[in-house]
Amino acid sequence: MITPRNDGGKTSFCCRHFYFENAPPSFQSAYLYIRLMASSSFPFFTRTLLDWYEPERRPLAWKHITDPYLIWLSEIILQQTRAEQGAPYFQKFSECYPTVSDLARAAEDEVMKMWEGLGYYSRARNLHAAAKFIHTEYGGVFPDDYERIRALKGVGPYTAAAIASFAFQLPYAVVDGNVYRLLSRFFDDATPIDISQGIKHFAGLAQELLPKDSAATYNQAMMDMGATICTPKKPLCEACPLNRECQGLANGTITERPVKVKKLKRSTRYFNYLVVQHPDFRMIEKRTAKDIWRNLYQFPLVETKASLDTLSQLLEEQSWPDWLLAENLQLIRKLGPRKQELTHQRIIADFWEFKYIGNRPDRLPEGINLIKPENCSKFAFPKVISWYFDDNSLYLF
């Protein structure tokens, strides 16, 4: 319940266990508005969402599932991934690993290969680690309370709330991009969603609106409304059942909500992949450092401060591997650049194809692997290298 408090002339708003001192006007009006609507058993917002929701408005493979493991799997896949892109991966994972113990027993390289193309590979590593934990600590039985779910590696408040409500009907509101957008527009709330105060604010707002006996339906309705009606661009306000009470629509601020105050900074990195080819082998290595694409495979890499034009420039780089002698290499061609945009980084990749003309190496540094050319497809590579393979750019002898 939200209640105002007066403390020496300052107004605070209490939402369960935290207070918001001197909240901005839009912040206060949102809470006051809920209090005014709360005179009926269900506020207009909540009641309208529940009346509007129909599962088939947005048919997805995981909507009718109550198995917490499969719900967890779908939610991890959908982090940073559109539903249309994630659906085939969900199908593939659920068929190959029908239980959490099946996933726990899988080899890491196998899991990473299955994940290839989804990006944000820390999700796959955390998924596999959490599956192992559930298998060993809980005997393969998925935990059924919010706190233990939240404690799993890679599970944040949103994912924990989704699993708790969809699998166990527990009263926890989900808060994701769809929810931020829907609430900030409906209440015309300019509280930034990318600062701690704003995160707590919208979490409290969502929780107050949650019908305790219909948590799963309400949460799904919120996500479906945000995904199909209250979309980031060109929202369908005329078709929205909430439009008659929507403060953002009334005030003409729909396109200004939600508010973010932090600007994304993206650095550029230049990768030069050494595609060393021989009729009997290819050279690859595993990325093990704490960096992007950890535990994925790649060709030996020379990272530079800018794009390079000639082989002589590449050979002069200090990061050129001293174990790979130039006298054993014959340049075939240079392909690229290929560009891959990540959240905080832009990768510009060039592929230098060499024919290996020396004797087969007897000693290689730890981490460098010689694999048969036909086995390249068994390893998980970053998307930029997968694109290279898909273009049939690999020179064949």
Give the pLDDT score at 163.
97
Strand 345-356 vs strand 267-278: parallel, antiparallel, or unpaired? Answer: parallel
Taking each helix axis as running N to C, give the angle between helix 122-137 and helix 108-115, from 0 to 180 degrees, rounded to the nearest 10: 140
Could you tell me the mean pLDDT of each successive run of 10 residues in the chain, 397 residues long? Answer: 39 36 48 48 85 88 90 94 92 97 97 94 96 98 97 96 96 95 95 93 94 94 94 96 95 95 89 95 94 95 96 95 93 93 93 92 87 92 92 52
Say whether 75 is catalytic: yes
Single-letter amino acid code for the residue at 35 = R
DSSP string covering 166-186: HHH-------SHHHHHHHHHH
Give the pLDDT score at 92.
96
Residue owning tokens 């034009």:
309
Q: Angle at Cα 336 formed by Cα 370 and Cα 296, nearest 5°? A: 40
CA–CA separation, 126 and 128 (whole Å): 5
CB atoms within 10 A of CB 212: 10
- Burial of residue 136, with CB atoms counted within 10 A of its CB: 0-12 exposed, 13-18 middle, 19 or more buried: exposed
Q: Which of 225, 182, 192 lies closest to 53, judged by CA?
A: 225
Report yes or no: 372 and 279 within 8 Å, Cβ to Cβ: no
CA–CA separation, 293 and 295 (whole Å): 6
Q: What is the pTM of this model?
A: 0.80
> Among residues 21, 54, 56, 75, which one is catalytic?
75
Report yes or no: 191 and 202 within 8 Å, Cβ to Cβ: yes
First to last CA, the chain: 72
CA–CA separation, 186 and 249 (whole Å): 8
Give the pLDDT score at 295.
92
